[in-house]
């Protein structure tokens, strides 16, 4: 590594340290957090702040009592508020533009250390088995207790996620786009309101994937659109499903604010289309 590159990486790490805080819960629990806004908004993990007594310590040693402004345990996110101004807020990136293999940096306060840095690359982007159908940034960075709630940044120092946990040897981070939706009070994704089972559907001399509607949730977007138990969903926007997660992708990609989704289905052996206005 040449001297200029090493100096640039050291400067990047120092900038990230200034926008990373210690989050203390009671006397002993220590996690990390990210200064999201200079006027006192801190983002961390929900599991870091399960009690009411929370304080925040900035990189220059200042300490502030913090108020838990919002929590989403399912997404493991929490927003804290401290009475402070002109804090060194983070620079945000865009998680939808990430690519596997990109260099990333994880900042936090693990094992009693302050502002520790770990490096790695993005291993995968997407859901993780056993953690519902939420998107995670999966990176081979070394995380430890105390890293939770700290930033995951790209090679330009832009925060692309908040570190949450380790699964199958990889660090999992909540993507920055999901964090922005959380802060706006939006759900992680719109909801269709069906339970599906994959089935084989004969079409043009071959089998294609169909998603059998086994249950329709009362009051859901699916019920309002007239979907019924026994319908077989075969495509969205005239693109056939190749795997069950394709339906989830179509739901996520439905354009706001209307969140309308066009589905093609088989009912009684006949193909028809239905437009669903999703819950947001």
**Residue 148 annotated as catalytic:** yes
Residues counted in the chain: 280
Question: Which residue among the candidates 148, 220, 236, 254 is catalytic per the annotation?
Answer: 148
Contact assessment for residue 113 and residue 145, using Cβ atoms and an 8 Å cutoff: no
Strands (E), 109-189: 116-126, 136-139, 151-154, 159-167, 170-175
Query: Residues 257, 260, 261, 267: what is their CA dihedral angle, to the nearest 10 degrees?
Result: 150
91: phi then psi, degrees, rounded to nearest 5: -100, 125
Residue 207, token pair as written in the block: 């089998």
Q: Is 260 helix (H, G, I), strand (E, B) or coil?
A: strand
Distance CA(229)–CA(221), nearest Å, equals 14
Catalytically annotated residue among 76, 95, 154, 220: 76
Out of 19, 32, 46, 47, pick the active-site residue: 47
Q: For residue 47, indicate whether it is catalytic.
A: yes
The catalytic residue positions are: 47, 76, 148
């Amino acid at each position: 590594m040449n001297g200029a590159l090493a100096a640039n990486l050291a400067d990047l790490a120092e900038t990230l340290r200034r926008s990373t805080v210690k989050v203390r819960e009671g006397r002993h629990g220590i996690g990390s957090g990210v200064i999201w806004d200079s006027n006192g908004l801190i983002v961390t993990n929900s599991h870091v702040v399960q009690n009411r007594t929370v304080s925040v310590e900035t990189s220059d040693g200042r300490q502030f009592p913090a108020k838990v402004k919002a929590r989403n345990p399912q997404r493991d996110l929490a927003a804290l508020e401290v009475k402070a101004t002109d804090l060194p807020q983070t620079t945000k990136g865009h998680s939808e533009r990430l690519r596997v293999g990109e260099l990333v940096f994880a900042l936090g306060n693990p094992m009693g250390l302050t502002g520790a840095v770990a490096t790695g690359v993005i291993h995968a982007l997407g859901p993780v088995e056993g953690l519902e159908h939420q998107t995670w940034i999966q990176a081979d960075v070394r995380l430890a207790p105390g890293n939770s709630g700290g930033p995951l940044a790209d090679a330009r120092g832009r925060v692309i996620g908040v570190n949450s946990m380790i699964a199958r040897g990889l660090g999992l981070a909540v993507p920055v786009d999901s964090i922005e939706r959380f802060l706006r009070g939006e759900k992680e994704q719109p909801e269709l309101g069906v339970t599906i089972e994959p089935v084989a559907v004969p079409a043009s001399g071959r089998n294609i994937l169909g998603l059998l509607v086994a249950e329709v949730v009362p009051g859901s977007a699916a019920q309002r659109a007239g979907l019924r138990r026994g319908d077989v969903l075969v495509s969205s926007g005239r693109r056939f499903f190749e795997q069950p997660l394709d339906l989830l992708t179509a739901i996520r990609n439905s354009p706001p604010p209307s969140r309308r989704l066009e589905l093609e289905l088989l009912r009684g052996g006949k193909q028809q289309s239905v437009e669903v206005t999703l819950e947001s």
